[in-house]
Amino acid sequence: MSSFVSVANANGVAAVTIDNPPVNALSFHVRKPLYEALIALRDDPAAKAIVIACAGRTFVAGADITEFGKPVEQPELRAIIALLETIAKPTVAAIHGTALGGGLELALGCHFRVADRGAKLGLPEVKLGLLPGGGGTVRLPRLVGAAKALGMIVSGTPISGGEAKAAGLVDETFDGDLLANAVRFASEMADRGGPFVPVRDRNERLAETVLAAFDAQAVDLAKKTRGLEAPLACADAVRNAITLPFDEALAAERQLFAKLVSGDQSRAQRHLFFAEREAAKVPGKDLQKRRIERVGIVGAGTMGGGIAMAFANGGFPVTLLETSEEALQRGLAMIEKNYAVSVSRGSLTEAAKQQRLGLFKGSADYGDLADCDLIIEAVFEDMAVKKEVFGKLDAVAKPGAILATNTSYLDVDAIAASISRPQDVLGMHFFSPANVMKLLEIVRAGKTAPDALATVTDLARRIGKVAVVVGVCHGFVGNRMLSARGAENEALLLEGATPAQVDKAFSDFGWPMGPFQMGDLAGLDIGWRNRKARGQTAVIADTLCEQGRFGQKTGRGWYRYESGSREPVADPEVDALIRAKAAELGIAPRAIGAGEIIERTLYPLVNEGAKILEEGIAARASDIDVVWVNGYGFPIGKGGPMFWGGLEGAARIVERLEHWHHSTGRAIFEPAPVLRRLAETGRWEG
């Protein structure tokens, strides 16, 4: 026996327990003793049935992702499952917590599965750029039918124990002592007598499949994959399960898996999996956290309303403060409307909506914030207004309350310095819509207390956010890099590209949309106002705004939008404006290819990220990737700007940046020293 796998005999039933904290991943040091234990039990007359269960908080949550890309050590998971299928006595998986990926595949190797009603079962490999490589695509359809299996495998979304029972994936669900119930179940099965049919030989559900309907479903799913290979491979593999004999389908699954696991997209997605977890590791994480029970939000506009919803969705009571009763009612009405939309879409029940609305308390009196443990300011982006609000918070907030600003650009150190308790001040930079977007930049100011930072990082997770700690600078990590990405936008237009060409280069790269479509969506007036405040100009964008072309909301911006449609249509007026401005500046148009567009937008993005690293504004290159994938739509299959920069090759990026620096003289292209170092050593960090 090993410390990772133990066997106990309970009234003739062998209970095999896997114990590999934290998530019982199927690492080599688990697979080997598990395989050996199963061989011994297969041949042991004292064991009439076998239960596979797990210690700790979950059943097996998958293969060990850290082993991917390394030489495979035998026995592989597939061998364990094949062995299970040779066992004549009943085998039962006892599932609590999560049975994910290889964990569910292990369970599919058993004759029976029993689960806690609240357990989660799924094949999330697609989220790692993979498909289930341990027979999941071939066995799951045999239990739940091809259509249901396709949906589960392509989405990667797990289902509950109850739903799994209804779908035929689980034989019995239990509340209470799962292991005891599983042992009793296994014993009854053994007493009832075999033969026990392994999943591989259960073909009835598959035989029901209507191939044409399946193919139509697969085509629909394929439309949403935006250049990702894994969802398509998942659909192919499930189709093989329908059309090929079991062993051939299994072999085909293996081939597809091998191709994906060695590809850049899966590497990128695995990088992001670990990057998100690394980002949560902040100094002081183990400190005693401050108690957060009630959250105050100042400002019930676009952001304040969304932030309030994010906390209410996480179960926190919220006090929402506005300047007047009228503004408050406007904010609350918007929140109610948003929840009503969720109800009409079926993503929220009416009862849940009422329960959430019950968590809001509105006020126009700062005194009402005195019982809040965390107060987030989301008022106008104006330093004088922010300082005034913080002054009032300083007067009323309870000692130890955390005071946060949602500012996009302003100096959090200056805000902190304006009150008597800078140690309690930090930035919580949410993204719009704040109740939906997962990213939260937590801005650590010079004097922020480590326990305040640790509290907010912890809290972010509790409301389902992916948090990244960043330092103070103009625009922090995300918006600062966004400026770098957009710095050449107008120059590209003036030199001959059209907005549609630039946007197409972006969507071909995998972005949900390009910068001009994005500008139209967000509203061009926002950038215009910011530029004016900073004394900056943008020849074309400023002119569009002067003409009242603010984007979608006015029906015209970089594109035209016909009668309320969100579909951008290229506008000859805009092209004419661009050419006229170029002529005024004496710039002759030339053909600009997608390659140049990428070099002049995304190489500066990587370069600015490198400068951010150099300055210590981000702690790790992977933190920057987390920001960009979760907040700005950087394609997940490319792993974020810094990971992609590595794939693209730092040496190439430096060489092209130097080229553009030489030809334009613009500082945005001056390679960061850390990027040069990466080109030489292959490593971001020192």
> Which spans of this chain sit near ligand NAI (rule: CB under 6 A)?
298-304, 321-323, 327, 378-381, 385, 389, 406-408, 430-432
For residues 468 and 470, give the distance between their C-alpha atoms in angstroms, rounded to a whole number: 6
**Residues 65-94, mask of contacts with ligand 3HC (x by CB under 6 A):** xx----------x-----------------
CB of 158 to ligand 3HC, least distance (A): 8
Which residues partner with 570 through β-bridges? 559
Q: Judge contact between 24 and 56, C-beta under 8 A.
A: yes
For residues 256 and 244, give the distance between their C-alpha atoms in angstroms, rounded to a whole number: 15
For residues 333 and 557, give the distance between their C-alpha atoms in angstroms, rounded to a whole number: 29
Catalytic, 105? Answer yes
Q: What share of the chain is helix, strand, coil (3-state, %, to 5)?
A: 55, 10, 35
Q: CB neighbours of 294 closer than 8 A, spacing ≥ 6? A: 316, 317, 318, 319, 371, 372, 373
Among residues 389, 398, 444, 378, the alpha carbon closest in space to that of 418 is found at: 389
For residue 331, the one-letter residue type is G
From the list ligand 3HC, ligand NAI, none, pick the one residue 389 interacts with, judged by a Cβ distance below 5 to 8 Å according to partner type: ligand NAI
Whole-number Cα distances in Å, 524 to 330, 382, 558: 24, 19, 9
For residues 421 and 84, give the distance between their C-alpha atoms in angstroms, rounded to a whole number: 62
Which residues partner with 430 through β-bridges? 440
Sheet holding 120-122, edge to edge: 98-100, 120-122, 159-160
From the list ligand NAI, ligand 3HC, none, pick the one residue 125 interacts with, judged by a Cβ distance below 5 to 8 Å according to partner type: ligand 3HC
From the list ligand 3HC, ligand NAI, none, pick the one residue 63 interacts with, judged by a Cβ distance below 5 to 8 Å according to partner type: ligand 3HC
Residue 425: phi and psi, rounded to 5, are: -105, 135
Q: Which is nearer to ligand NAI, 308 or 493 (CB)?
A: 308
- What's the token pair of residue 126? 């697609």
Exactly one of 76, 85, 105, 599 is catalytic; which is it? 105
- Site size toward ligand 3HC (CB under 6 A) is 24
> How many CB atoms lie under 10 A from the CB of residue 349?
11
CB of 431 to ligand NAI, least distance (A): 6
From the list ligand NAI, ligand 3HC, none, pick the one residue 277 interacts with, judged by a Cβ distance below 5 to 8 Å according to partner type: ligand 3HC
Provide the pairing of β-strand 360-363 with 374-377: unpaired
Given the rule CB under 6 A, which of 21-29, 299-307, 308-316, 576-584 is the region that contacts ligand 3HC? 21-29
Among 109, 133, 145, 486, binds ligand 3HC (CB under 6 A): 133
Chain center to CA of 562: 33
Q: Which is nearer to ligand NAI, 169 or 434 (CB)?
A: 434
CB of 57 to ligand 3HC, least distance (A): 7
Q: Which is nearer to ligand 3HC, 51 or 100 (CB)?
A: 100
Q: Which is nearer to ligand 3HC, 264 or 368 (CB)?
A: 264
Q: Hunting for tokens 């002759």 — which residue is that?
A: 588
Task: Tell me the DSSP string of 630-644.
Answer: HHS---GGGT-HHHH
Whole-number Cα distances in Å, 639 to 398, 544, 620, 654: 42, 35, 14, 20
From the list ligand NAI, ligand 3HC, none, pick the one residue 380 interacts with, judged by a Cβ distance below 5 to 8 Å according to partner type: ligand NAI
The 3-state DSSP class for residue 375 equals strand
Q: Which is nearer to ligand 3HC, 24 or 601 (CB)?
A: 24
Residue 290: phi and psi, rounded to 5, are: -75, 150
Residue 378: phi and psi, rounded to 5, are: -135, 55
CB of 407 to ligand NAI, least distance (A): 5
Among residues 466, 482, 506, 475, the alpha carbon closest in space to that of 622 is found at: 466
- What's the token pair of residue 58? 């979950």
Asked if 277 touches ligand 3HC (CB under 6 A), the answer is yes
Q: Which is nearer to ligand 3HC, 358 or 464 (CB)?
A: 464
CB of 561 to ligand NAI, least distance (A): 20
CB of 574 to ligand NAI, least distance (A): 24
For residue 384, the one-letter residue type is A
CB of 639 to ligand 3HC, least distance (A): 16
Q: Which is nearer to ligand 3HC, 72 or 533 (CB)?
A: 72
From the list ligand NAI, ligand 3HC, none, pick the one residue 300 interacts with, judged by a Cβ distance below 5 to 8 Å according to partner type: ligand NAI
Q: Which is nearer to ligand 3HC, 124 or 305 (CB)?
A: 124
Q: Which is nearer to ligand 3HC, 96 or 549 (CB)?
A: 96
**Residues 136-175, mask of contacts with ligand 3HC (x by CB under 6 A):** x---------------------------------------
Site for ligand 3HC in 96-125 (CB under 6 A): 98, 100-102, 105, 124-125
For residues 215 and 212, give the distance between their C-alpha atoms in angstroms, rounded to a whole number: 5
Asked if 64 touches ligand 3HC (CB under 6 A), the answer is yes
Exactly one of 125, 596, 599, 648 is catalytic; which is it? 125
Q: Hey, which residues are catalytic here?
A: 105, 125
Q: List residues binding ligand 3HC (CB under 6 A).
A: 22-23, 25, 61-66, 77, 98, 100-102, 105, 124-125, 128, 132-134, 136, 274, 277
